[in-house]
Amino acid sequence: MCETRPCAWRDQGDRGGVCVIRVLLAEDVQMVREALASLLELEDDVQVVGEVGNGEDLLAVAEKTQPDIAILDVNMPGLDGLTGAERLREQLSGCRILVLTVLDAPNVVRRAQDIRVDGYMVKNAPAEQLVHAVRRVMAGERVITPELALAAWEGEPSPLTAREADVLRLVAAGAESAEIAELLHLSPGTVRNYLTAVVAKLDARNRTDAVRIARDAGWLLSS
């Protein structure tokens, strides 16, 4: 689901023409997305020019709306926010990126740092901090919520190999072993072996528990 809004340039009366910060919102929870859009639209110098409800729509809407800044949720269906941020960097190099998350998993924070997003905030921050962050990012500053900065120093790297993560990511998406084998060009027996190794490495009760552990740690975001 996506919505495109008209280009933004507002005449501010006695202050003359003021260039408005053009924002693209990517958030899969509609109520949250609409609330964020309404919050930002209250500001005279901000306009939401596009909204997307999944990662697959992100690049197409960004190309159409040419935002100054994209606000991306980390966990979205289709294409996660950090992978979307990487691709958006390649497609629109001038677009700044502010990532929102409910996760403080060290591995997620480190990956955001590696991508060099312009801002990284937790969703439970006060609303006014988001508006302030948008302006700071547009001014060329880097913004990160303090608890996320602290989290970057903690935790261990993922114990999963790239292929194990691929298999578990498909399990998380609801795929069965036979489907995973076909998608990854593996034998069903090899897929079962990978899943057995994953469950053992994560000290999980079963594959469902392994998905929970890996997701909470931020190890299932696409690489």
DSSP annotation string for 11-38: E-GGG-EEPPEEEEEE-S-HHHHHHHHH
| pLDDT at position 207 | 93
Question: What whole-number distance in Å separates Cα of residue 169 and Cα of residue 180?
Answer: 10
Instruction: Retrieve residue 172's tokens.
Output: 């998380």
| pLDDT at position 50 | 96
Tell me 55's DSSP state.
Answer: G
| pLDDT at position 7 | 41
| pLDDT at position 8 | 43
Instruction: Retrieve residue 64's tokens.
Output: 């159409």
- Mean pLDDT throughout 31-56? 92
First to last CA, the chain: 24
- Of all helices (H) and strands (E), which one includes residue 76? none
Question: What whole-number distance in Å separates Cα of residue 147 and Cα of residue 172?
Answer: 27
Tell me 103's DSSP state.
Answer: -
By percentage, how much of the chain surpasses pLDDT 70? Answer: 83
Choose between 206 and 116: higher pLDDT. 206
51 beta partners: 3, 25
Q: What is the pLDDT of residues 67-80, one digit of tens each?
A: 999 999 988 877 88
Asked if pLDDT for residue 98 goes beyond 90, the answer is yes
| pLDDT at position 148 | 61
- Mean pLDDT throughout 155-174? 86
| pLDDT at position 11 | 38
Choose between 156 and 81: higher pLDDT. 81
Question: What whole-number distance in Å separates Cα of residue 48 and Cα of residue 4?
Answer: 9
Q: pTM of the prediction?
A: 0.65
Mean pLDDT of the chain: 83
| pLDDT at position 66 | 95
Are the beta carbons of 117 and 78 closer than 8 angstroms? no
Asked if pLDDT for residue 108 goes beyond 90, the answer is no
Residue 147: pLDDT band with limits 50, 70, 90: low
| pLDDT at position 157 | 72
| pLDDT at position 102 | 75
- Domains, the chain, with CATH or none: 2-151 (3.40.50.2300), 162-217 (1.10.10.10)
